[in-house]
Amino acid sequence: MNNITKQLSENIYTRSDFYREAALLKEFLEHSFFSKSPAKPSKRALKAFLKAKEPDEFENNSYAILELGDEFFEQFGQDNFYDLFKESEKEMEMLPFVALYMPVSFSQKEIAMFGKWFRENVDENIFLDVKVDVDIVAGCTFVWKNMHHDMSFKKLLEEKKNEVVEIINRSVKQEA
């Protein structure tokens, strides 16, 4: 696995986050190597770059790339970083992923919890595609290996429909 992919996947669990943070990182490296005042890329320089780029969202956003150590940046030079990112994106396309539909929009903390669960129970290199579907009510549905699986409360209610109707009818009769 490419070093960028490997390092980013330690703290990133969704493909959208991966592409978003990889794009920020690449932009930071471009800034570092090709600006009017080139500087050696580092964790501190990255933090300053992000704060300057997204001043309003910086405090609220959590950036996985800020968890990277300084040694991570040492592998990049102005001649190789494009190729390394290109290779990483290609790898990303080959890695397994699961489309996960949930009733609410979760924070990075919960997403990380789900991601870890998938990497521990399904595949260590798996990434998620997280989507929101309010009709699910509770629980989740997901597409794994082109097969849709419904583990939602809605599905549970459909399966237990007769029992629910029976309970309600019983209650109605008792009241009558």
Partner 1 sequence: MESSFVYIFALTLIILTILIVVFLILQLRNSGQIQKLAYPIYDYTVKKAQRKAQSIIQDAKENAKTMLADAELQSIKIISEGKIETKDIRESYRKKVDELAKELESSFVQHSRDAEKVYSEYSELFQKRFEERVQSVEKNMEDLAGQFSSAFSEIKEEGKNRINEQIDNEVKGVKDLVDAYKKERMSIIDEEIVTLVEKTTSTVLQKDMSLKDHADAVMRALENAKQQNIFS
Q: Which residues bind partner 1 (CB under 8 A)?
A: 102-104, 106-107, 110, 113-114, 117-118, 121-122, 134-135, 137-140, 142, 144, 149, 151-154, 157-158, 161, 164-165, 168
Nearer to partner 1 by Cβ, of 23 and 137: the residue is 137
CB-nearer residue toward partner 1: 86 or 149: 149
Q: What is the distance between the alpha carbons of residues 155 and 12, in angstroms, rounded to a whole number? A: 30
Give the amino acid at 118.
F
- Name which of 58 and 117 has its Cβ closer to partner 1: 117
CB of 133 to partner 1, least distance (A): 12
Picking from 111, 96, 101, 103, the residue whose alpha carbon sits closest to that of residue 148 is: 101
* Whole-number Å distance between alpha carbons of 64 and 144: 26
Phi first, then psi: what are they for 11, rounded to 5°?
Answer: -120, 0
Nearer to partner 1, 36 or 145 (CB): 145
Q: Minimum distance between the CB of residue 54 and partner 1, rounded to whole angstroms?
A: 24
The length of the chain is: 176
Cross-strand pairs, 130: 100
Whole-number minimum distance, CB 149 to partner 1, in Å?
A: 5
